[in-house]
Amino acid sequence: MENKTDVWQGTLALMVLKTIEAMGTIHGYGIARRIEQTSGEQLSLNYGTLYPALLKLEQEGAIVSEWGLSDNNRKAKFYKLTRAGRKQIDKATKEWAQTTAILERFLCAD
Amino acid sequence: MRGLIRRIAGLFTRNQRDHDFDEEMESHLRMHIEDNIRAGLTPTEARRAAMLKLGPMAHVKEAYREQGSVPIIESTAQDARLALRHLAKNPGFAITAVGVLALGIGISTAIFAFVDASLLKPLPYRDPHTLVGVYESAAGFPQSPLSYLDYLDWKSMNTTLSTLEVYQRGGFQMMTDQGASRASGARVSEGFFTALGTAPALGRFFRAGEYQAVVINHSTWQQQYGASQDVIGRSITLNGTAGTIIGVLPKGFHFTPVEPANYWTLIEPGKGCVARRICHSLSGIGRLKPGVSQQAALTELKSIATQLEKLYPASNKGQSANVIDLSEVLVGNIRPILFTLLSGAGLLLLIATVNVTGLLVVRAESRRKEIALRSALGASRLRMFRQFLTEGTVLATLGCALGLLTALVAIQLLTKLMPTAVAERMPFLNAVGLNSQILTFAAIITILATIMFAIIPASSFKWKRLGSKLVAMELATAMVLLAGAGLLGKSLFLLLRESTGMRPEQVVVLETSTPRDYDDKKTLAVQAAIADRISALPGVQSVDFTSSLPL
């Protein structure tokens, strides 16, 4: 447990977007599980924090939601990327790569 | 930006969103529990683990709600509803406070509408700031009329004015099919309308030497000539001379110093007063050349006057020049009256707001318990102040809305109260009405009142014993203001009613005129006949004639 990292501020949105991009359409619970798996169980995530983030992304027009049926025939709300969402991923990915590259120079300086 | 719009829209879909959220949580939990059971947990354990992983539910829901709309607007709306409920529960307080405010805001807005129409609106002429009033001046008579011959010299000698024109008010005797009647009018020099930048609605304006030409104003065209297009070229007999109508002034054109003026003709040189350099009867209007200051024009005209003084010592001794703002000529005489009225209305408004603030302070005292309870429940100081601010806004907005209605009624009433003769001389008041300036004025008042309503009752909590003292202070201020308003009213009364050294009661005035071609003997005979007939009327004590009234 102690080795798990909290999700950094501002990175959750990008993780959510990338997850939805990978899965096509997916419900909130699925996104939560998927993020944990993708991180190799390294991240500790309160699933609840996902939902305000999803609402925010939806308000910004990056994703859209629709009620549907899950694999087990359960009613669930499914999320899907929009074109604006794809653009946001591109932009955030570039920014993130730049940030890590800069940080790396500092870390490898000595 | 897009997110913000959605959030504001979210203010109105709160219930739907809450419902959606609950359902989404439920489906989330069910899926998680099923997974947990499949992983080998007992149903109770599965449920517990899923709940734990989801995190504190109340917290999540709160975060979701805050993201869903704009919390500050929601809580403000809540405060506003609370304020309205408070008002509804205390109708006595509500009616007094809103009524007093509406009266204060209404009256001052109405007076401001008059100030705006007469003093603040730009004059209705082209580039009004370059127009100046041009006069002669003499010892003890700083703004004396021009004589026609001086005017001609000034016009040809000056280099600072792009144009210099003169005008003179005065009616005509008009011959119609029904007989002689009086017609209001003015005489001007030929470039007068062009100098103001006015274009005719129909026909054209004067050319040099067209002493038989007549220009009529828009309302005369509408009323006397049925707005017919063939009015141009019609003949008209003014003062016994046949003339021709050549043009119609545009709608809404007015030139206050000569209004009401239905018929306009050129000043005819070489006759009567106009022929004598010592006879001063004209007012001048000039347009400054680009970049020339009013002061420079005055200096030049003064030096021209000095030259004329040397040339014509008999008539021009001591005659100098005076140049003033055109607005001073047009509305200078009503400015002090309007400012007095506005100050009075301002004081009234101040009394109104101070009194309402007093009421609020008293009410705040009785709400001590409510405030203490809310603070104990965790309301921050800022949050409490916001509640006072919202309550103040609700009160001031209600007062402002009712006040604007009051203003509309007051404007109508005041306009109707004005005698027609007075109203005709102030044509700019036709435009009185609510416009954006006046609404801005009302809005500023409302904001200031709101600030007062929020800060004073709220601060009465901070300085605990100040509350009751504030009430006494407010009362004292109100008394001072009341006395001030009373004194202003008295000044206004004196302004309007200067002592004339005469007893104007029981005196009536009748204007008569005789045709131009009558000589003195004939005119005197007509006057004697009129006097005889009038003194024969019952109730008439004495009759007499004068060429100009003493007032």
Q: Dump pLDDT digits (tens) for B261-277.
A: 889 998 888 777 888 88
pLDDT at B198 over 80: yes
CB contact under 8 A, B60 and A48: yes
When scoring B11, B17, B27 by the number of chain A Cβ atoms within 10 A, the one with the most, hence best to mutate, is B27
- Sign, CA dihedral A29-A34-A36-A41, equals positive
Looking at residue B519, what is its pLDDT? Answer: 79
pLDDT confidence tier of residue A64, bands split at 50, 70 and 90: very high
Write the CB contacts of B506 (distance below 8 Å, at least 6 apart in sequence): none
Q: Which residues of A touch B59 (CB under 8 A)?
A: 48
Say if residue A94 is exposed, middle or buried (CB neighbours under 10 Å; 0-12, 13-18, 19+): exposed
Looking at residue A79, what is its pLDDT? Answer: 94
Say if residue A110 is exposed, middle or buried (CB neighbours under 10 Å; 0-12, 13-18, 19+): exposed
Note whether A7 and A50 are within 8 A (CB): no
Note whether B286 and B304 are within 8 A (CB): no
pLDDT confidence tier of residue A3, bands split at 50, 70 and 90: very low
Find, in chain A, the residue whose alpha carbon is nearest to that of B65. Answer: A52
Q: In degrees rounded to 5, what are phi and psi of residue B115?
A: -60, -45
Per DSSP, what are the bridge partners of residue A64?
A80
B58-69 tens-digit pLDDT: 888 888 888 877
Looking at residue B224, what is its pLDDT? Answer: 86
User: N- to C-terminal Cα distance for chain B?
Assistant: 68
3-state secondary structure of A110: coil
Write the CB contacts of A45 (distance below 8 Å, at least 6 apart in sequence): A7, A32, A35, A36
Count the neighbouring beta carbons within 10 Å of the beta carbon of residue B485. 18
Q: What is the average per-residue pLDDT within A33-43? A: 84
Cα separations in angstroms, B99 against B106, B108, B112, B274, B405:
10, 14, 20, 60, 12
DSSP assignment of B473-524 equals: HHHHHHHHHHHHHHHHHHHHHHHHS---SS--TT---------TT--HHHHH
Q: What is the CA radius of gyration of chain A?
A: 15
pLDDT at B500 over 70: no
**Helix B294-311 × helix B148-157 angle, to 10°:** 120
Q: What is the average per-residue pLDDT within A93-103? A: 89
* B64: contact with A, CB 8 A cutoff: yes
In single-letter form, the type of residue at position B517 comes to D
**Dihedral angle, C-alpha A91, A97, A101, A104, nearest 10 °:** 130
Cβ-based interface (< 8 Å): residues of A facing B:
27-29, 33, 46-49, 51-52, 55-56, 59-61, 70, 72, 74-77
Choose the closest CB to B67 out of A56, A74, A75: A56
pLDDT at A18 over 80: yes
Give the position of tokens 């200031």.
Answer: B448
CB contact under 8 A, A47 and B66: no
Choose the closest CB to B67 out of A52, A61, A75: A52
* Residues 458-487, chain B, touching A (beta carbon < 8 A): none
pLDDT confidence tier of residue B167, bands split at 50, 70 and 90: very high
Note whether B83 and B389 are within 8 A (CB): no
* B211: contact with A, CB 8 A cutoff: no
- Which carries the bigger pLDDT value, residue B426 or residue B150? B150
Spatial CA neighbour of B78 closest among B387, B454, B395, B388: B387
pLDDT at A5 over 70: no
Q: Which residues of A touch B66 (CB under 8 A)?
A: 52
pLDDT at A1 over 50: no
- Side by side, which strands form the sheet with A63-69? A25-27, A75-81, A63-69
pLDDT confidence tier of residue B132, bands split at 50, 70 and 90: very high
Count the neighbouring beta carbons within 10 Å of the beta carbon of residue B393. 22
Choose the closest CB to A48 out of B6, B27, B54: B54
**Cα distance from A101 to chain B (closest Cα, Å)?**
30
- Which carries the bigger pLDDT value, residue A41 or residue B161? B161
Count the neighbouring beta carbons within 10 Å of the beta carbon of residue B138. 15
pLDDT confidence tier of residue B480, bands split at 50, 70 and 90: confident
Note whether B298 and B133 are within 8 A (CB): no
pLDDT at B513 over 70: yes
CB contact under 8 A, B27 and A74: yes
ipTM for the complex shown: 0.85
Q: Which residues of B touch A52 (CB under 8 A)?
A: 60, 63-64, 66-67
Say if residue B459 is exposed, middle or buried (CB neighbours under 10 Å; 0-12, 13-18, 19+): middle
This prediction has a pTM of 0.66
Averaged pLDDT of chain B: 84
CB contact under 8 A, A77 and B24: yes
**Cα distance from B40 to chain A (closest Cα, Å)?**
18
Among B84-98, B169-183, B479-493, top mean pLDDT goes to B84-98
Spatial CA neighbour of B398 closest among B356, B344, B343: B356
CB contact under 8 A, B55 and A47: yes
Note whether B320 and B96 are within 8 A (CB): no
CB contact under 8 A, B27 and A75: yes
B517-538 tens-digit pLDDT: 777 888 888 888 888 998 888 8
Find, in chain A, the residue whose alpha carbon is nearest to that of B10. Answer: A59
- Sign, CA dihedral A34-A35-A39-A40, equals negative
